[in-house]
Chain A
Amino acid sequence: MKGLAAATPGMRLAVAALLVGAAWLVDGWHRPAPLPSPEAQFVIGAQGVAADTLKRQDGGNIPMPEQARAAHASNLLAMPAGHPAAVTAFWFAGDRESAPNVQIAAAQFDRTTQRWSPARYVVERHAMAAQLGFGVRRLGNPVAWLDASGRMHLFVVATGWGGWAAARVLHLVQQGPDNRLDHMVFVPERVLPLSWLWNTSYLVRNNPQPLTDGGMQLPVHFELGIKYPVALRFDAQGAFMGMERMSRRNYMLQAAFLAQTPTDWIAVMRDQRSEGHVTAVQTNDGGSHWHDLPDLPLTNPDAAIAALALTPGNSLLAHNTSPYSRERLDLSHAADGLHWSPLAALAHGGAGDEYSYPAMTWADGALWVSYTDHRRSIAWQRFVPQAKGAP
């Protein structure tokens, strides 16, 4: 150190330049190869399906884990061909939302028996904390994804000190080769680095947009006082590849992507304002840059929505349609992601009823919808395409 302190100005500059150069080399060595420009992968197996021909085939309630008194925020994952299950459902269950005993539950719809398996818990906060090396106060909002090799990833909200506003997004990956429910085990990969402020107040809720490179864009949102949406990119193996703020309007959350072409997408969102509407933003480069769109004419009672683009010009939206409550949950379709027409009533109740937090996926030639039923269980429905003009 004394030698360095006594060095001539020229030597000090040379050492500084050498250190910067070394840092550049080492930094470059760590970095992954650049990804291609993002392009949306549309739903496989939905070609030729017109959204307005979908009719309800069956439905019911997914079995709950024993002694779970509350359930909320379900998510559906289409399983690949050859897997015993058509769909895996995840949700959080326990005594109540944000209760200490809330865990992430899952059930699978068996292709042979055409029934849901009994539910089991797949993520428990104490086990996660032990593996992470620090505490996890509460769990919520699971979102699942299959990477290019068929490995399951699960993104969940894991809170620090505080409520949902102190949340972080915890990235879990499947351990071992088997993702049948009985063998399903998740291990934490990392808490996603999304904010300098103790990495706090980011939440995940809606499905990712798969990309043609095998990766995906995952919508998350910030919600400490204000709410704004952010898109996260992941590569084909599920490695985090950056973040892009989707809007600076501070009342929009829980974005759902609707690709219109491989690069032109719309994201529709929940509106936190009173007398709110479904809000929207648009990208013309596969999620690398976003700009605001006018609010849609659909009312939104500060409630989560779910969206799914089957093919270009063929989009579906599950949303609460009553302006001040969550007692009506409906399914709509649109050609452009902006002008929506009613397609089916998912659940209509009276004052005090709640049908909320819908999720959608496409599997085995059918649309699958799940939603929270009175915060006590998760309901599901399956819609299949009918020939035009069929009753």
Chain B
Amino acid sequence: MTVDVTLFAALMSTTEPALPAADWMRLYLPFAWTVVLAGALVALPLRWTLGVQRVLCGLLALAAVLPGAFSPVYWLGLAFQAPSLTSVLVGLWCLRGVVTGGHIGLAGGDAKANGLWRWALPFALLGYGLLFDTLALLPWQMYAWGFSPALLLALLTLALMPWSLKQHTGVAVWAVPAALLLFAATRLPTGNVWDALMDPLLWILLQAMLIRLAYWHVRRRG
């Protein structure tokens, strides 16, 4: 019984956080923003040729390593810190198109095809929970739970369910579990699992996607 209680306490504990090494954080920041920006660029519904996409992605990568205020990463980090691992993985998935030559979209019908819509509603609700927690509107401390092992394991179990129980596929089905597994290994971006799972910009994007999907749904029924 003592062992069980000790194990349970260890799983729930928020007071032994493992934070990422400072060097990893410094490497992650330009890499993550480059992937997210390049992914967003190629996901835009613009009719750029593959060559133009590749050149723009290359320029973004170059800009990311420019020193100081010449780099967009300097300003993005100033305002938004680092993107979540999920955002980076979705960005990498979008960049498949730069290699294969196909257009990858994130909104509307594309969202339905890639499975992101499955995560949009729970992530949107989760984001509101984290926002309310930040403003001390909740009686518990949701962000601090993000330092506990239990939350990581619970989120990973939930994230694996669509594939393990229903055999769903699509970027979201593997992006979220992969983000959580990467977090377990690297602790990036901050050591808190909420920051690895979703950043506020992804939260805003998913809400925009939900609105777009709802609009499509209403228009098709009308």
B156, A23: Cβ atoms under 8 Å? Answer: yes
A12, B167: Cβ atoms under 8 Å? Answer: yes
Q: Does B50 contact A (CB under 8 A)?
A: no
Q: Does B60 contact A (CB under 8 A)?
A: no
Residues of B within 8 A of A250 (CB): 136
B134, A195: Cβ atoms under 8 Å? Answer: yes
Q: Does B74 contact A (CB under 8 A)?
A: yes
B78, A137: Cβ atoms under 8 Å? Answer: yes
A134, B18: Cβ atoms under 8 Å? Answer: no
B19, A134: Cβ atoms under 8 Å? Answer: no
B17, A130: Cβ atoms under 8 Å? Answer: no
Q: Does A283 contact B (CB under 8 A)?
A: no
A contact residues, total (Cβ < 8 Å): 59
Residues of B within 8 A of A4 (CB): 163
Q: Does A44 contact B (CB under 8 A)?
A: no
Which of B14, B135, B141, B160 has the most chain A CB within a 10 Å cutoff? Answer: B135
A190, B19: Cβ atoms under 8 Å? Answer: yes
The smallest C-beta distance from B120 to any residue of chain A, in angstroms, reads: 18
Residues of B within 8 A of A33 (CB): 16
Tell me the residues in window 1-41 of chain A with beta carbons closer than 8 Å to chain B beta carbons.
1, 4-5, 9, 12-13, 15-16, 19-20, 22-24, 26-28, 30-35
Since A30-B187, A193-B192 are in contact, a sample of 18 more A-B pairs with Cβ atoms closer than 8 Å, ordered by chain A residue number, is: A16-B160, A16-B161, A16-B164, A27-B149, A27-B152, A31-B16, A132-B26, A133-B26, A134-B29, A135-B69, A135-B75, A196-B143, A196-B192, A197-B134, A222-B136, A243-B141, A243-B143, A245-B144
- Given A26-B184, A134-B73, A242-B147, A12 and B164 contact (CB-CB distance below 8 Å): yes
User: Per-position contact with B for A228-255: 1 when CB-CB < 8 Å, else 0?
Assistant: 1000010000011111110010100000
Cα separation A381 to B2 with both chains bound (whole Å): 54
Cα separation A245 to B141 with both chains bound (whole Å): 7
Q: Would you call the interface of chain A mostly helix, strand, loop, or mixed?
A: mixed
B contact residues, total (Cβ < 8 Å): 63
Cα separation A28 to B184 with both chains bound (whole Å): 9
Q: Does B131 contact A (CB under 8 A)?
A: yes
> B82: nearest residue on chain A (CB-CB)?
A134
- Given A16-B163, A130-B68, A197-B131, A241 and B136 contact (CB-CB distance below 8 Å): no
> B148: nearest residue on chain A (CB-CB)?
A242
A5, B74: Cβ atoms under 8 Å? Answer: no
Q: Does B80 contact A (CB under 8 A)?
A: yes
Q: Does B37 contact A (CB under 8 A)?
A: no
Cα separation A188 to B133 with both chains bound (whole Å): 28
Q: Would you call the interface of chain B mostly helix, strand, loop, or mixed?
A: helix
B149, A241: Cβ atoms under 8 Å? Answer: no
User: Per-position contact with B for A305-326: 1 when CB-CB < 8 Å, else 0?
Assistant: 0000000000000000000000
Q: Does A148 contact B (CB under 8 A)?
A: no
Contact of B157 among A5, A16, A199, A233 (CB under 8 A): A16
> A242: nearest residue on chain B (CB-CB)?
B15
Residues of A within 8 A of B18 (CB): 27, 30-32
B25, A190: Cβ atoms under 8 Å? Answer: yes
Q: Does B130 contact A (CB under 8 A)?
A: yes
Tell me the residues in window 59-90 of chain B with beta carbons closer than 8 Å to chain A beta carbons.
67-69, 73-81
Residues of A within 8 A of B181 (CB): 19, 22-23
The smallest C-beta distance from A220 to any residue of chain B, in angstroms, reads: 13
B160, A161: Cβ atoms under 8 Å? Answer: no
A129, B74: Cβ atoms under 8 Å? Answer: yes
Q: Does B91 contact A (CB under 8 A)?
A: no
Cα separation A35 to B74 with both chains bound (whole Å): 36
Contact of B144 among A26, A228, A242 (CB under 8 A): A242
Residues of A within 8 A of B81 (CB): 134, 160, 191, 198-199
Q: Does A93 contact B (CB under 8 A)?
A: no
A241, B15: Cβ atoms under 8 Å? Answer: yes
The 5 closest A-B pairs by CB, nearest first: A134-B77, A135-B78, A30-B18, A193-B190, A242-B15
Provide 21 A-B residue pairs closer than 8 Å at the C-beta atoms, listed in order of the A residue.
A19-B156, A19-B181, A28-B149, A31-B149, A33-B16, A35-B16, A132-B77, A133-B74, A134-B76, A135-B75, A135-B78, A136-B78, A195-B143, A196-B146, A197-B131, A226-B136, A228-B136, A240-B17, A241-B16, A243-B141, A248-B139
> B192: nearest residue on chain A (CB-CB)?
A193
> A35: nearest residue on chain B (CB-CB)?
B15
Residues of B within 8 A of A30 (CB): 18, 184, 187
Contact of A34 among B15, B156, B191 (CB under 8 A): B15
Residues of A within 8 A of B134 (CB): 195-197, 222, 224
